[in-house]
Amino acid sequence: MATIQNTGFDKLHRHVRKKILVTFHGLAPSQLLGRFVGPKVLLNSIPKAGTHLLERALDQFPLIRNAGQKTLMAPQELENHILQKILSIKKGQFLNAHLQAHPLLLQKLSESDIKILLMIRDPRDVALSRVKYVVNIDRTHKTTHYLAGLKDDNERLEASIRGIPGILLPVHEIFERFAPWLEHPNVIICRFEDLVGESGGGNKNRQIQLVKKLILFLELEVEEKKIELIADKIFSPKSSTFNKGAIGGWKNIFNTNHKKMFLDTGREILELYGYGANGE
């Protein structure tokens, strides 16, 4: 169940609690060994695409530990200190980020040994999820006051889809800014719909196959019998930012106007990311 964050103190408390947990996890024998032989990993995700799912998978992998830092973001210019944090990822460590495809970042990472996991999700579910997150969970978010002040959820969803100048980017523009990652040589694509598994309305076999691909991509060794155990623990309603976490929730919420509005602006994005040429 999501932890409601009403104040900056609530966010700090959540971060400190997570920091303690990941620190202890990093002291496990396999994670200590990973400091010498583990992969360097950037867990990059489109906001509200299901970062916690991928985190829970990696937390169960051998030789990898969470860096325990706040999620890196650079919505405008890529500041040098952000770039240096990424290039300084240590062996056996993964770092969380919501980073659009800044040209310099793409170039530097193509020259590095850092492996990049890109978490994506149906843009329509992202549009829906970010409204619920901002209004119901993170009430310290810069857009909470504006969205909460709209007449109803219908207007809030419209705002999420089309954007509000100076306040909220349109969903299709967020995906456009991340699109160059799809072709980056060091990237593996992780779809929310594949990783969520049966508990989130997905498919168990697709979930297991993605876990296997991740293990292979990261050059790890995991026994076959343990892979299914890892998959079983990925979906968790206990995540502090969990909100439903199911596939295709937009189908039950979008009205005719929402669907048309999204296709008018985001049809090409749906096609580019593999979510249907006809927008269904």
Pairwise CA distance, residues 35 & 103, whole Å: 29
Condensed to tens digits (0 to 9), the pLDDT of residues 112-127 reads: 999 999 999 999 999 9
Inside any domain, residue 70: yes
User: Cβ(26)–Cβ(66) under 8 Å?
Assistant: yes
Inside any domain, residue 2: no
Inside any domain, residue 62: yes
Average pLDDT value for residue range 239-266 = 81
Inside any domain, residue 227: yes
Inside any domain, residue 128: yes
In this model, does residue 164 exceed pLDDT 60?
yes
Average pLDDT value for residue range 240-266 = 82
Inside any domain, residue 263: yes
Condensed to tens digits (0 to 9), the pLDDT of residues 170-206 reads: 999 999 999 999 999 999 999 999 999 998 899 999 9
- For 71-89, letters b (16+ CB in 10 Å) and e give ebebeeebeeebbeebeeb
Inside any domain, residue 278: no
Long-range interactions of 155-159: CB distance < 8 A, separation 24+: 156/131, 157/127, 157/128, 157/131, 157/253, 157/254, 157/258, 158/257, 158/258, 158/261, 159/131
Mean pLDDT of the chain: 87
CATH number for the domain that contains residue 24 = 3.40.50.300
Query: What is residue 138's predicted lDDT score, i.e. its pLDDT?
Result: 54
Stated pTM of the model: 0.87
Domain that holds residue 155: 8-272
Of the two residues 214 and 52, the one the predictor is more confident about is: 214
Inside any domain, residue 277: no
Report the number of distinct structural domains present in the chain.
1
Condensed to tens digits (0 to 9), the pLDDT of residues 240-252 reads: 444 456 799 999 9
